[in-house]
């Protein structure tokens, strides 16, 4: 299973999603670590580590897919 994190720097938040979540866009382009975007990880441990390093104040798990 692939996990996605969505970094939203404008609202200072990072959110964890599962690969089949309806909030994950079907085509992702323009992701940039400094501005934010969508990033995929092969396992939950790596995704959680990336969330911690994202530099945002708020960390959430998606309420729809409940990863």
- Report pLDDT digits (tens) over 4-62: 999 998 899 999 999 989 999 888 766 666 678 899 999 999 999 999 999 899 999 99
| Number of domains comprising the chain | 1
Q: Are 50 and 39 in contact (CB under 8 A)?
A: yes
CA distance 28 to 26: 7
Q: What is the residue range of 40's domain?
A: 3-61
pTM to 2 decimal places: 0.86
27 lies in a domain?
yes
3-state SS, residue 63: coil
67 lies in a domain?
no
- Report pLDDT digits (tens) over 1-18: 899 999 998 899 999 999
24 lies in a domain?
yes
66 lies in a domain?
no
Residue 59 CA to its chain's centroid (Å): 10
36 lies in a domain?
yes
């Amino acid at each position: 299973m692939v996990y996605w994190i969505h970094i939203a720097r404008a609202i200072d938040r990072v959110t964890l999603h599962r690969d089949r979540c309806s909030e994950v866009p079907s085509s992702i382009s323009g992701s940039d670590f400094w501005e934010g975007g969508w990033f995929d990880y092969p396992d939950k441990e790596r995704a959680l580590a990336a969330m911690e390093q994202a530099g945002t104040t708020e960390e959430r798990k998606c309420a729809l897919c409940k990863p």
